[in-house]
Chain A
């Protein structure tokens, strides 16, 4: 059973290496250690023209043994201010990582989904109430400046994890 996971992860790894040029918002997506295909890391780049511009956000990805039937566990290790991301734990509230997961997703597609979540927040199911409240009140200036500040504080520095 677990060998099936390894096969699939190896497949994804090779596929990711092959078309690395076709994903502009994903700086990195690879296993942390070569011999452990069940623990990955990724670095998302903040989209240009958004409040996250210039930020590099690190993701920690843990693949369960029954992947792809079960979704991977993904969290931000870089602190990020976003209505659907827990500020302290980095937990991501995204339906496709929970109830709406289907085995046809790949790590790459999930990373793209998270990247698009950054620019399209869903304030109705918040993990970060402060950011969500700003959005719900329509205070875009406040929200954007808050996000910009935290991006500058935590996501600009290369050393920052």
Chain B
């Protein structure tokens, strides 16, 4: 149960912005992800159903109290779509993030406080692990444990998500030497050039790996006219190539191939282009902050993402139709790479003939048809006070709702249905009529239950009151008796004497009401005084003590003043 109860604090503190996103996509009323988001005049967003319920009772915004009404509500379609999609991917994203954080946390715990170069190395390790995890998980058909093979084609086919940036790497993975080489360089870059890094004020390891466009000097040739895959170029910088490749570090065979996989792309916060995560600082320092265009990464992140999903779709289709996956994906990866590296140009497709004809991916240039949101027909609210039972019943019948019960129940039923129906009109993923009817059934049941419990509570309260009244009556009687006996024994007190006289006047059997009241009052006052005698005594003692203390203080002060007066005189 607690699994579907979500909260913005589920997100790790490292990703504060995700927390923010999460909290902004929640309705302030129900604290759930927005369902059928609507915006009020004051620009606050709520679930349509929640705000309708609130506006039935009060006509102001729950967040800022600015007066508003249902007629001023506007659907916030974009926000609703965002909330829906975020809801869909939330648990997955959260799991991936948590898993990616685990190794990082573990390593930093092991090493304790770190020197600068050390922490870089660890970051690198964490990144490697992250990459390995993501690449293993993201392949939808890869049900067995992720095997990291050095066979380029199979790697490529198993990992559709990475294809987009990985393209040329598929070839390079064939080369075992490359794997070794890459790994060594990354390790060496932190150890050999420690001095270099430390003297630098900012920009960690990445700086030494500035990707170079069309790098002719790289030992590997880039295939198929693809733009330099940044990760590859960066990790194969010729700076310390020869010596390192000869050194042959022992732990290179497997991690090397992993490292040669690119990190996932992220959107640059300034230009919005997709750049590798590890390349962020370099990109920012060398291009964006200098207001220059980075020739290596010219494609907006959004475009890359849409293309990526297209590839996944294609991949799934290929898998389903039993086509040779490696061929198809290899081709598409090429085509996408070209499209993504053609600045400003429309996405081009090469090798069309080789792609199975049923696949129309990317033919639209990654654009979806613009959706239109016609204003749906809503049920108008009724003024129930001017309707009689018959009319109301007719209205319910028209809506296909049950018509039993008294007017109050019918009225509530109608109001409930109007609320959920109209709220459903605001949803971009509306429920079916049958689902609404089911919700009404649930409501009907819970309403009945509520009424029953309320009835039970009312009865219990009545019984309690009756018992209390009985007790009171008994007490009164007792008090009377006691008063009567007190009258006989203590005729001295003035109030009692009066009652005595009156009772004597009225005869011994007949008891005067006034006299009884007085007697009861005095008796209760007496009892009260007895009950709190100790407390009162304490209080009085306390007050007396304070008064005495004050007096002593005063006398002391007086004495002092007197002394002061006498001293100058003497």
B54 / chain A contacts, CB cutoff of 8 Å: 69, 103
Q: Are B53 and A69 in contact (CB under 8 A)?
A: yes
B63 / chain A contacts, CB cutoff of 8 Å: 102, 104
A32 is an interface residue with CB less than 8 A from chain B: no
Q: How far is the CA of A158 from the CA of B200 in the complex (A)?
A: 61
B443 / chain A contacts, CB cutoff of 8 Å: 1
Q: Are A8 and B9 in contact (CB under 8 A)?
A: no
B270 / chain A contacts, CB cutoff of 8 Å: none
Q: Are A8 and B30 in contact (CB under 8 A)?
A: yes
Q: What per-residue 1/0 map shows which CB atoms of B170-212 lie under 8 Å from chain A?
A: 0000000000000000000000000000000000000000000
A88 is an interface residue with CB less than 8 A from chain B: no
Q: Are B5 and A10 in contact (CB under 8 A)?
A: yes
Q: Are A103 and B1 in contact (CB under 8 A)?
A: no
Q: What per-residue 1/0 map shows which CB atoms of A1-37 lie under 8 Å from chain B?
A: 1111001101110110011000000000000000000
Q: How far is the CA of A70 from the CA of B50 in the complex (A)?
A: 12
A65 is an interface residue with CB less than 8 A from chain B: yes
Question: In the complex, which of the residues B1, B28, B416, B442 contacts A104, with contact meaning CB atoms closer than 8 Å?
Answer: B28
Residues in A132-153 with C-beta less than 8 Å from chain B: none
| A43 to B: closest C-beta gap in Å | 23
Q: With A11-B7, A19-B9, A69-B54 given, is the CB distance from A2 to B31 under 8 Å?
A: no
Q: Quick one: closest A residue to B57, CB to CB?
A: A69
The number of residue pairs between A and B whose CB atoms lie closer than 8 Å in the complex comes to 56
Q: Are A2 and B450 in contact (CB under 8 A)?
A: yes
A70 / chain B contacts, CB cutoff of 8 Å: 57
Q: Quick one: closest A residue to B28, CB to CB?
A: A104
B217 is an interface residue with CB less than 8 A from chain A: no
Q: With A69-B54, A103-B54 given, is the CB distance from A8 to B31 under 8 Å?
A: yes
A68 is an interface residue with CB less than 8 A from chain B: yes
Q: Quick one: closest A residue to B8, CB to CB?
A: A15
Residues in B404-433 with C-beta less than 8 Å from chain A: 416
Q: With A1-B446, A1-B447, A8-B30 given, is the CB distance from A104 to B62 under 8 Å?
A: yes
B65 is an interface residue with CB less than 8 A from chain A: yes
Residues in B1-28 with C-beta less than 8 Å from chain A: 1-2, 5, 7, 9, 28
Q: Quick one: closest A residue to B61, CB to CB?
A: A102
| B273 to A: closest C-beta gap in Å | 37
| A52 to B: closest C-beta gap in Å | 20
B95 is an interface residue with CB less than 8 A from chain A: no
Measured as residues with beta carbon below 8 angstroms from the partner, the interface class of chain B is 20 to 34
Q: How far is the CA of A122 from the CA of B59 in the complex (A)?
A: 27
Q: Are B5 and A7 in contact (CB under 8 A)?
A: yes
Q: Are A10 and B65 in contact (CB under 8 A)?
A: no
Q: Are A103 and B446 in contact (CB under 8 A)?
A: no
Q: Are B9 and A10 in contact (CB under 8 A)?
A: no
Q: Are B50 and A15 in contact (CB under 8 A)?
A: no
Residues in A84-134 with C-beta less than 8 Å from chain B: 100, 102-104, 106
| B33 to A: closest C-beta gap in Å | 12
Q: Are A102 and B30 in contact (CB under 8 A)?
A: no
Residues in B59-102 with C-beta less than 8 Å from chain A: 60, 62-63, 65
Q: How far is the CA of A12 from the CA of B63 in the complex (A)?
A: 18
Q: Are B5 and A11 in contact (CB under 8 A)?
A: yes
- Residue of A10, A14, A103, A104 with most partner-chain B CB within 10 A: A103
Q: How far is the CA of A83 from the CA of B449 in the complex (A)?
A: 39
| B13 to A: closest C-beta gap in Å | 12
Q: How far is the CA of A4 from the CA of B28 in the complex (A)?
A: 14
Q: How far is the CA of A133 from the CA of B182 in the complex (A)?
A: 81
B28 / chain A contacts, CB cutoff of 8 Å: 103-104
A69 / chain B contacts, CB cutoff of 8 Å: 29, 53-54, 57
Question: In the complex, which of the residues A15, A19, A68, A100 contacts B29, with contact meaning CB atoms closer than 8 Å?
Answer: A68
B53 / chain A contacts, CB cutoff of 8 Å: 66, 69
Q: How far is the CA of A3 from the CA of B447 in the complex (A)?
A: 11
Q: What per-residue 1/0 map shows which CB atoms of B507-540 lie under 8 Å from chain A?
A: 0000000000000000000000000000000000
Q: Are B450 and A65 in contact (CB under 8 A)?
A: yes
Q: How far is the CA of A5 from the CA of B231 in the complex (A)?
A: 51
| B202 to A: closest C-beta gap in Å | 34
| A160 to B: closest C-beta gap in Å | 14
A18 / chain B contacts, CB cutoff of 8 Å: 7, 9
Q: Quick one: closest B residue to A105, CB to CB?
A: B62
Q: How far is the CA of A17 from the CA of B38 in the complex (A)?
A: 31
Q: Quick one: closest B residue to A18, CB to CB?
A: B9
B7 / chain A contacts, CB cutoff of 8 Å: 11, 14-15, 18
| A101 to B: closest C-beta gap in Å | 9
A8 / chain B contacts, CB cutoff of 8 Å: 30-31
| A153 to B: closest C-beta gap in Å | 8
Q: Quick one: closest A residue to B449, CB to CB?
A: A2
Q: How far is the CA of A69 from the CA of B29 in the complex (A)?
A: 8
A/B interface sample: 28 pairs, CB < 8 A: A1-B443, A1-B447, A2-B446, A2-B449, A2-B450, A3-B446, A7-B30, A7-B32, A8-B30, A8-B31, A10-B1, A11-B7, A11-B31, A11-B32, A12-B31, A14-B2, A14-B5, A15-B7, A18-B7, A65-B450, A69-B29, A69-B57, A70-B57, A102-B65, A103-B29, A103-B54, A104-B29, A104-B63
Shortest beta-carbon contacts, A-B, top 10: A104-B28, A102-B62, A103-B29, A104-B62, A103-B62, A2-B446, A18-B9, A69-B53, A11-B5, A1-B446
* A residues with CB within 8 A of B: 1-4, 7-8, 10-12, 14-15, 18-19, 65-66, 68-70, 100, 102-104, 106
* B residues with CB within 8 A of A: 1-2, 5, 7, 9, 28-32, 50, 53-54, 57, 60, 62-63, 65, 416, 442-443, 446-447, 449-450
Extra pairs beyond A2-B449, A12-B31, A103-B28 (17, CB < 8 Å): A1-B416, A1-B447, A1-B450, A2-B446, A2-B450, A3-B442, A8-B31, A10-B5, A14-B7, A15-B7, A18-B9, A68-B29, A69-B54, A102-B63, A103-B50, A104-B62, A106-B31
